[in-house]
Amino acid sequence: MPIPLLALAISAFAIGTTEFVIMGLLPDVARDLAVSIPSAGFLVTGYALGVAVGAPLLAVLTAKMPRKLSLQALMGVFIVGNVLCAVAPGYSMLMVARVVTSFAHGSFFGIGAVVAASLVPAEKRASAIALMFTGLTLANVLGVPFGTFIGQEFGWRATFWVVAALGVLSLIGVAALVPNKHDSGPSNFGHELRVLKEPQVWLALAMTVLGFGGVFVVFTYIAPILEQVSGFSPHGVTLVLVLFGVGLTIGNTIGGKLADRALMPSLMGILVALAIIMAVFAKTSHSQTLAAITIFIWGIAAFATVPPLQTRVVEKAKHAPNLASTLNIGAFNLGNAGGAWLGGVVLQQGHPLDSLPWVAAVVAVVALGVTWYAARLDRGGQGAGAGAVDAV
């Protein structure tokens, strides 16, 4: 894999760290800014909505810019956003700073995936995208625990200063390593919007919302499940989540390799595996040992969906891969929010925590149905050809 992918992976690590580290810092932020824990939790919601709504807008605004310059500009937004987080005098300013930072998130991953795919031959594009997303998975395994430790020892603001420094390192890496030769010609607003006329692009986005949304039906409530159903202590939950993060990293690599060999069959197989694993977890969640093993395997299957889902939308968006790829990052976040909402509704209806894996399994089956339909359109010659990705 080309060295420029390292710069993209480092950037993904920095972005992933700032997205998730706030969860470990919520008590400190709430105490320092004199707000409740639920109010501090809205900082997570604000970030997710910023990714889903703001990122596509930035993708359109940067449509005429060379992709390397767009990545540099977005990383500049990321640095500014984290500095604003570090110096925010109050809750409102911190919320604004988080939203500003989130704008860089979706657009960077969207455009970065297009750049990563353009750096390698066609048969390695999914693996290249997976390598970039490895930075995001490692952020869960290394960046979040380290950032939480920094915040607990030196104050939560120190964490954002460290992440801003990571952003500077990422900006230097992109400027020095990412070449210009893979940029496509300038685009315009109308040209970008034409991608929304492609039915297969919409199907790809639906596959992402459902395929990853099922994961968050359970993951949003994984701590109470592990504590109240499996019987883990809070410290034990942390260790299990690290194990889950390791599974994510492994699954990301496996998903990339499988997608390079046979994208749609691999994706359908992964979704079948997700449904089965969730059905099994409904039973194994009552045993600490079996729950830990299941969650590790679940992590592998969960993130094995990411490279094929992202590759699929880039492959089908022959008119405007930048916008479609960025929209898909928003679709991931929409799936996260939708999965969390669905899980909450199930619990509010009085169903027990161990019923959530069954709900997640059903969502995975629905995603499988959408994926099967999209594959059927491919076979019928109604979808965009596999050569669409060559437009990248």
pLDDT tens digits along 162-193: 999 999 999 999 898 888 754 554 455 566 66
pTM above 0.75, yes or no: no
CA distances from 180 to 117, 210, 264, 323 (A): 14, 35, 31, 19
Whether 197 and 176 map to the same domain: the answer is no
Confidence of residue 104 (pLDDT cuts 50, 70, 90): confident
DSSP 139: I
Rounded-to-integer distance, Cα 32 and Cα 39, Å = 13
Whether 56 and 174 map to the same domain: the answer is yes
Whether 176 and 197 map to the same domain: the answer is no
CB of 22 within 8 A of CB of 98? yes
Q: What percent of the chain has pLDDT over 70?
A: 90
b/e 231-250 (16+ beta carbons within 10 angstroms → b): ebeeeebbebbebbbbbbbb
pLDDT: which is higher, 6 or 183: 6
Rounded-to-integer distance, Cα 178 and Cα 184, Å = 14
b/e 146-175 (16+ beta carbons within 10 angstroms → b): ebbebbeeeebbebbbbbbebbeebbebbe
Whether 103 and 199 map to the same domain: the answer is no
Whether 215 and 175 map to the same domain: the answer is no
Q: Which two tokens stand for residue 277?
A: 């694993």
Whether 180 and 213 map to the same domain: the answer is no
Whether 212 and 85 map to the same domain: the answer is no
Instruction: State residue 387's pLDDT score.
Output: 40
Confidence of residue 145 (pLDDT cuts 50, 70, 90): confident
Confidence of residue 140 (pLDDT cuts 50, 70, 90): confident
Confidence of residue 265 (pLDDT cuts 50, 70, 90): very high
* Half-sphere exposure at residue 209, Cβ-oriented, CA atoms within 13 angstroms: 16
CB of 60 within 8 A of CB of 190? no
Give me the domain span that covers residue 144: 4-184
* Half-sphere exposure at residue 49, Cβ-oriented, CA atoms within 13 angstroms: 8
Choose the final residue of a domain: 184, 211, 232. 184
Other beta carbons within 10 Å of 325: 29
Give, in degrees to the nearest 5, the angle at Cα 80 between 78 and 86.
105
Confidence of residue 320 (pLDDT cuts 50, 70, 90): low
Rounded-to-integer distance, Cα 105 and Cα 87, Å = 20
The full length of the chain comes to 392
Whether 142 and 262 map to the same domain: the answer is no
Contacts of 68 (CB under 8 A, 6+ apart): 115, 174, 178, 179, 180, 183
Whether 281 and 172 map to the same domain: the answer is no
Whether 48 and 141 map to the same domain: the answer is yes
Whether 351 and 202 map to the same domain: the answer is yes
Rounded-to-integer distance, Cα 195 and Cα 140, Å = 33
Contacts of 363 (CB under 8 A, 6+ apart): 210, 213, 214, 217, 339, 342
Other beta carbons within 10 Å of 189: 11
Choose the final residue of a domain: 184, 206, 235. 184
The least confident of 151-155, 243-247, 256-260, 382-386 is 382-386
Please report, for the domain that includes residue 113, its CATH number: 1.20.1250.20
Choose the final residue of a domain: 184, 216, 248. 184
Instruction: State residue 383's pLDDT score.
Output: 40
Instruction: State residue 28's pLDDT score.
Output: 83
Whether 238 and 386 map to the same domain: the answer is yes
Overall number of domains in the chain: 2
